[in-house]
Amino acid sequence: MMKILVLAAVLALTTGAAPVAGEEHDHDHGHGGAHATTVLQGKGDTPLGVRGANAYPVPSKRSYTITASCASYANQIRQGAATWEGMTEGGGTPVSCQSQQFDCGGVQAVGCNWSNGQKILLAPSQVRDVALLAAHEFGHDWYAHSSGTCASWGSKDNIMRPAMC
């Protein structure tokens, strides 16, 4: 049984909208189930991710392939991947994109990593920082959500928070 933090997704792109509080639910997705990332209205930071020698160490090296649906976001996705040590492009996890939120394990999400790297789906047009969204989803190859609400740069735990704000 895996516990994930489920946050109500808010797509109000108008200013002044308040963040939505989350509640915890148990979800049994089997081994390595889907990990959803939602979006909350709020003020987020936008610096680029950690890269190269400053990448966060991981238990195992992984690779990914950016599909044609993500062509216009490829550079930001690569920046997100470079957050994790040993992440290389070519083969491995297919990364696909679509324009709207989608279902990920019963949650309306802007990002999802199924089965720890089987496939990743992103809704990059729904977030302010595509590189951070990509870094977060790649991070699910090894890590679950951390505590807190809004993902941000600065530490592995910050990146793995469950919502893009």
The per-residue DSSP string of 8-50 comes to ------STTPPPPPEEEEEE---TT--EEEEE--S--------
Q: Evaluate if residue 30 carries a pLDDT over 80.
A: no
C-beta separation of 162 from 8 below 8 A: no
pLDDT of residue 122: 99
Name 126's Cβ contacts closer than 8 Å, sequence gap at least 6: 11, 39, 99, 100, 101, 110
Chain-centroid distance of CA 143 in Å reads 11
Task: Give the domain 2-164 fold.
Answer: Collagenase (Catalytic Domain) (3.40.390)
Tell whether the model's pLDDT for residue 44 goes beyond 70. Answer: no
Ordered by start, the domain boundaries in the chain are 2-164
17-26, 53-62, 141-150: which is most confident:
141-150
Would you call 95 helix, strand, or coil by DSSP? strand
- Predicted local confidence at residue 46, as pLDDT: 37
Q: Residue 38: what pLDDT?
A: 64
- pLDDT band for position 35 (cuts 50, 70, 90): low
Nearest to residue 35, comparing CAs of 97, 100, 122?
122
pLDDT in tens, 80-94: 999 999 999 999 999
Say whether pTM exceeds 0.85.
Answer: no
Length reported for the chain: 165
CA 111 → CA 37, 59, 102, 135, distances in Å?
5, 22, 8, 10
CA distance 160 to 107: 17
CB of 109 within 8 A of CB of 35? no
Q: Which pLDDT score is estimated for 32?
A: 54
**What confidence tier does 41 reach under pLDDT thresholds 50, 70, 90?**
very low
